[in-house]
Amino acid sequence: MRFRHLQVEYELPDEWWLEAGMQNFIPDRRAYVASASTVSNGPLLELAIDDLEPELRQGSHGVFNDSTVFGSARERVIHILRGFRENSALPPVEVSRVAADGLPRYKLIHGAHRTYCSIAAGFSHVPAVEVDDFFGTYPGS
């Protein structure tokens, strides 16, 4: 399946979407259910996806990448999509505010799989916590 985030097009393999049981999924809220953040003392935001800068990285499967720590891109994406379908709590994404006059206003630090699965699933927002760029700490702490 192909989907867009602002001006950038991405692809999620159809077989992953089907394996996760998402063929009839229609979101009943703006964002997926978030678990408590372990990286921030700051508030949980419900951030419009259009307020995020698009990811331009090319992982092992487009924007999705394999990880020796977290598993294959396929396993990660299917786990996230099933979480959406079952309304399971998933960690919020981590973002950093960027200085800009217009949109987007945030840079994604951690959570590309959750963000791009959210877009593919039809969510307009993601749960997020604001962190210092690459340090994983809340700016006010």
Residue at 103 is within a domain = yes
For the chain, count helices (H), then strands (E): 3, 6
Residue at 73 is within a domain = yes
Position 7 scores a pLDDT of 86
Residue at 108 is within a domain = yes
Number of folded domains that form the chain: 1
Contact indicator for 78, 13 with CB cutoff of 8 Å:
no
Contact indicator for 114, 91 with CB cutoff of 8 Å:
yes
Tokens matching residue 40: 């921030």
Calculate ∠ Cα 139-140-141, nearest 5°: 95
Residue at 134 is within a domain = no
Average pLDDT over residues 8-21: 94
Tokens matching residue 8: 């950038």
pLDDT at 113 over 70: yes
Residue at 133 is within a domain = no
Write out the E strands in 65-105.
93-97
| pLDDT tens digits, one per residue of 30-40 | 999 999 866 66
User: What is the extent of the structural domain holding 123?
Assistant: 2-128
Residue at 135 is within a domain = no
Residue at 141 is within a domain = no
Give the confidence band of 94 by pLDDT, cuts at 50, 70, 90. very high
Position 103 scores a pLDDT of 65
Residue at 12 is within a domain = yes
pLDDT at 57 over 70: no
